[in-house]
């Protein structure tokens, strides 16, 4: 692979050899070629392959590489000791090594028992990083790895980089002293952010936290631009369907829905939208899309895509009415949108046709094509482009720098958005990829607009 983020499909293919390794990494000797032993990964022998993956990823993540260069003189993370818990991929490795070059010390584990690329973990260990992660952990291993990152001889972590909140909550529960002494938390997931706001509400958040999930730049790429491509890819890889002329129902016209509709229309599909919000519905109208209720199109459409963030948007009743061959999938933020459980009844037969593709067969022979069992199509059946991860990881790095260097009192015991100016900076670091040239304000213009020449250029709420 040139560059792939974690996904069941894609990593499955790399790691087939791992199945041979029956012994748990925790029971195997762990030592790299220089005698370093403070890590725990699957197999150090795969370090070379992992290093090549990292090198390729570096080429596609110019912003982080740029950051290394720009910030190298003054090493803005000198003194930072970061505990990290994320997916372990070639792209996150580029982040880890960037933090290190900016002066930070790090210990790192994986936020999901399946989401480690073993070869990449090996390459990091070989390079001397304390990595505790492998693919296919037991639950118990998972918490053990987190522990190993929090505590170690002479290790007094002062920052958290988290994805999901498990690391943060481990520290809060068991290591309150460490927690209270920290400079801050950077959290990237919807779930983790939600948990942080809960903490803040209940007064348990004793240090500042930065919600990078809702950064403008990251949001646009995670939702609009990423889904615009992955909806096509996910559907094509699984079903080989031709998009031209197909009738597609997209449930929800937020950023994800807008991305899906735009891509499908570009290839000649006839798109319908369902919406609960009249403002989004009116936007669909103005984009030339018919806004319908589900029952109006359930019998005639060829493809159904949920991206509403809601639950039971597609019910058994609807599935009963769909025509033979209809394809049903989900691009929303969880697997609740399609009521998959309702399909597990005795009268229906499930037939696994391909990886991530099930035919659900009705007594009369009607087949519904269900993708990824209703989980996220974009993660399960497509890949996340390096460029999207470059945006995410760059945002995380800048959030760490901001929290670590912020003057006393700028951030309190609360959850913050990344300052607009740094959000803009993330974007600016990615313009070179497109050979895009930014215009600078003259002094006169800056004064006229009442803006600082280096930004921020828009109010915080601006996110068109």
The residue written with tokens 């894609």 in the block is: 10
Tokens representing 264 are 């499908």
**428 lies in the site for a second copy, by CB under 8 A:** yes
Nearest to 222 by CA among 193, 249, 197, 200: 193
Q: Any binding-site annotation on 296?
A: no
In the complex with a second copy, the residue whose CB is nearer, 31 or 341, is: 341
CB of 420 to a second copy, least distance (A): 9
**393 lies in the site for a second copy, by CB under 8 A:** no
CB of 124 to a second copy, least distance (A): 21
Q: Any binding-site annotation on 378?
A: yes
In the complex with a second copy, the residue whose CB is nearer, 403 or 429, is: 429
Tokens representing 268 are 């000649």
CB count within 10 Å of CB 59 equals 12
Q: Any binding-site annotation on 297?
A: no
Measured CA to CA, the distance from residue 272 to residue 296 in angstroms comes to 10
Give the chain's largest Cα–Cα span.
74
**1 lies in the site for a second copy, by CB under 8 A:** yes
Which string of DSSP letters, residue by residue, matches 313-366?
SB-HHHHHHSPTT-EEEE-SSSTTSB-GGGG-STT-EEEEEETTEEEEE-TTS-
Site size toward a second copy, by CB under 8 A: 107
CB of 53 to a second copy, least distance (A): 10
Q: What is the DSSP letter of 373?
A: G
In the complex with a second copy, the residue whose CB is nearer, 72 or 300, is: 300
40, β-bridge pairs: 132
**191 lies in the site for a second copy, by CB under 8 A:** no
**310 lies in the site for a second copy, by CB under 8 A:** yes
Site for a second copy in 340-369 (CB under 8 A): 353-354, 357, 369
**424 lies in the site for a second copy, by CB under 8 A:** yes
**218 lies in the site for a second copy, by CB under 8 A:** no
Nearest to 41 by CA among 30, 27, 51: 30
In the complex with a second copy, the residue whose CB is nearer, 60 or 187, is: 60
Which string of DSSP letters, residue by residue, matches 257-321?
HHHHHHHHHHTT-EEEEE-S-HHHHHHHHHTT-EE--HHHHTTT-SEEEE-SS-S-SB-HHHHHH
**427 lies in the site for a second copy, by CB under 8 A:** yes
CB of 457 to a second copy, least distance (A): 4
100 phi, psi to nearest 5 deg: -60, -45
**333 lies in the site for a second copy, by CB under 8 A:** no
Residue of 65, 291, 348, 406 that binds a second copy (CB under 8 A): 291
Q: Any binding-site annotation on 332?
A: no
CB of 427 to a second copy, least distance (A): 4
327, β-bridge pairs: 303, 369
Q: What character string, x for contact with a second copy (CB under 8 A) and - otherwise, covers 35-64?
A: ------------------------xx----
Element (H, E) at 110: strand 105-110
Residue of 289, 303, 319, 397 that binds a second copy (CB under 8 A): 289
**336 lies in the site for a second copy, by CB under 8 A:** yes
Which string of DSSP letters, residue by residue, matches 29-78?
----TTS----B-S-GGGHHHHHHHHHHHHHT-HHHHHHHHHTTTT-TTT
In the complex with a second copy, the residue whose CB is nearer, 1 or 37, is: 1
**281 lies in the site for a second copy, by CB under 8 A:** yes
Site for a second copy in 155-184 (CB under 8 A): none
First to last CA, the chain: 34
Nearest to 405 by CA among 133, 158, 169: 158
Nearest to 130 by CA among 33, 46, 44, 41: 41
Please say whether the beta carbons of 153 and 130 come within 8 A: no
* Omega before 321 within 30 of 0, i.e. cis: no
Site for a second copy in 249-278 (CB under 8 A): 254-255, 258, 262-263, 265-271, 274-278
CB of 362 to a second copy, least distance (A): 14
Among the residue ranges 31-39, 88-96, 105-113, 234-242, the one whose residues contact a second copy (CB under 8 A): 234-242
In the complex with a second copy, the residue whose CB is nearer, 81 or 463, is: 463
Tokens representing 462 are 């601006």
CB of 292 to a second copy, least distance (A): 6
Q: Any binding-site annotation on 138?
A: no
CB of 464 to a second copy, least distance (A): 6
In the complex with a second copy, the residue whose CB is nearer, 2 or 31, is: 2
Measured CA to CA, the distance from residue 343 to residue 316 in angstroms comes to 7
Residues annotated within the binding site are 254-259, 275, 378
Residues annotated within the binding site for NAD(+) are 254-259, 275, 378
């Amino acid at each position: 692979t040139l560059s792939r983020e974690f996904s069941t499909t894609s990593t499955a293919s790399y790691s087939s050899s791992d199945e041979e390794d029956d012994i748990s990494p925790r029971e195997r000797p762990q030592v790299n070629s220089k005698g370093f032993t403070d890590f725990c990964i699957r197999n150090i022998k795969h370090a070379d392959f992992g290093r090549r993956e990292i090198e390729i990823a570096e080429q596609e993540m110019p912003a982080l590489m740029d950051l290394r260069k720009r910030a190298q003189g003054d090493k803005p993370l000198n003194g930072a000791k970061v505990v990290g818990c994320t997916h372990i991929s070639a792209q996150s490795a580029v982040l880890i090594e960037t933090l290190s070059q900016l002066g930070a010390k790090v210990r790192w584990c994986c936020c999901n028992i399946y989401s480690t690329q073993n070869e990449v973990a090996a390459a990091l260990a070989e390079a001397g990083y304390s990595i505790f992660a492998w693919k296919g952990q037991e639950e118990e291993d998972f918490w053990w790895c987190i522990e190993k990152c929090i505590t170690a001889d002479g290790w007094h972590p002062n920052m958290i980089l988290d994805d999901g909140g498990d690391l943060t909550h481990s520290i809060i529960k068991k290591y309150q002293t460490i927690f209270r002494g920290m400079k801050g938390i950077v959290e990237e997931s919807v779930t983790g952010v939600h948990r942080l706001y809960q903490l803040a509400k209940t007064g348990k958040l004793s240090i500042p936290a930065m919600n990078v999930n809702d950064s403008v730049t990251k949001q646009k790429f995670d939702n609009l631009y990423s889904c615009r491509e992955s909806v096509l890819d996910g559907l094509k890889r699984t079903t080989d369907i031709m998009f031209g002329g197909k009738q597609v129902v997209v449930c929800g016209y937020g950023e994800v829905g807008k991305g899906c509709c735009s891509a499908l229309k570009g290839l000649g599909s006839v798109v319908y939208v369902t919406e609960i919000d009249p403002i989004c519905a009116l936007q669909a109208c103005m984009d030339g899309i018919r806004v319908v209720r589900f029952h109006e199109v359930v019998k005639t459409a060829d493809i159904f895509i949920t991206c509403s963030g809601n639950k039971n948007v597609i019910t058994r009743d609807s599935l009963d009415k769909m025509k033979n061959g209809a394809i049903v999938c989900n691009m929303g933020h969880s697997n609740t949108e399609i009521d998959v459980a309702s399909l597990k009844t005795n009268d229906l037969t499930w037939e696994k046709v391909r990886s991530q593709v099930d035919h659900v067969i009705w007594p009369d022979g009607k087949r519904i094509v269900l993708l990824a069992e209703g989980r996220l199509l974009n993660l399960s059946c497509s890949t996340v482009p390096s460029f999207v991860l470059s945006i995410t990881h760059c945002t995380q790095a800048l959030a760490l720098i901001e929290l670590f260097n912020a003057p006393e009192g700028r951030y309190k015991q609360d959850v913050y958005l990344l300052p607009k100016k740094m959000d803009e900076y993330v974007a600016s670091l990615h313009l070179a990829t497109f050979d895009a040239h930014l215009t600078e304000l003259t002094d006169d213009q800056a004064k006229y607009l009442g803006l600082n020449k280096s930004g921020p250029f828009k109010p915080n709420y601006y996110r068109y």
